[in-house]
Amino acid sequence: MSAKPLIFVVEDSPANQLLFRAVLEGAGYEVEVASTAAEARERLAAVSPALILMDVQLPGEDGLSLTRWLKFMHETSSIPVVALTASTRARDREAAMVAGCTGFISKPIDVSTFPSRVADFLDSHRGETSR
Ligand code: MN
C-alpha cells in the first residue's frame, strides 16, 4: 500500500495531462487523470483523493459545474478542489470560488513552483479538518 497522497487531475488536454502527471509524480504524489466531467464522476465514486485539480475549461460539462456537483455530494464535498484556469480575470476567479473551489492555479503552470503550491493547498486543508 502506498502512503503517497493521491492527486486527482481533471484535464482534457493530453499535453497538460502528461505535464501534470510528470511534475506531480516527480514531487512524490500519486496521480490519476480524467479527461471529462463524466469520467471524473465515475472514477470519484471509487477513489477518494487528497486533492482535486480541476481544469475549468472542459469540453461538454465544464469544471465549475463538476465542482458544484462534487461540493453538493456528501461523499466528495470535503475534498478540496483547486481550479486550473488560463483566465486572469477577477470575475472568473470569483466564479471558481463561488462554485466551491478552495483556490486556483494559473495555467500555463510554473513547474518550479507548482508542487509547492499543491503542497500548500494540501496543508491548509489538513489544518482546516483538524480544527
Ligand atoms: Mn481544458
pLDDT digits (tens, 9 = 90+) for 55-78: 999 999 999 999 999 999 999 999
Kindly give the distance from the C-alpha atom of residue 68 to the centroid of ligand 1, in angstroms, as a whole number: 17
Find out whether the peptide bond into 49 is cis, omega within 30 degrees of 0: no
Kindly give the distance from the C-alpha atom of residue 66 to the centroid of ligand 1, in angstroms, as a whole number: 13
Kindly give the distance from the C-alpha atom of residue 73 to the centroid of ligand 1, in angstroms, as a whole number: 23
Kindly give the distance from the C-alpha atom of residue 22 to the centroid of ligand 1, in angstroms, as a whole number: 18
Question: In this structure, are residues 31 and 9 in contact, taking their beta carbons and an 8 Å threshold?
Answer: yes
Confidence of residue 127 (pLDDT cuts 50, 70, 90): confident
Q: Across the chain, what does the average pLDDT equal?
A: 94
Question: Residue 31: enclosing H or E segment and its boundaries?
Answer: strand 30-34
| pLDDT of 3 above 90 | no
Cβ contacts of 80 within 8 Å, gap of 6 or more: 51, 52, 102, 121, 122, 125
Kindly give the distance from the C-alpha atom of residue 8 to the centroid of ligand 1, in angstroms, as a whole number: 15
Kindly give the distance from the C-alpha atom of residue 127 to the centroid of ligand 1, in angstroms, as a whole number: 30
* Phi/psi at 111 (5° precision): -65, -20
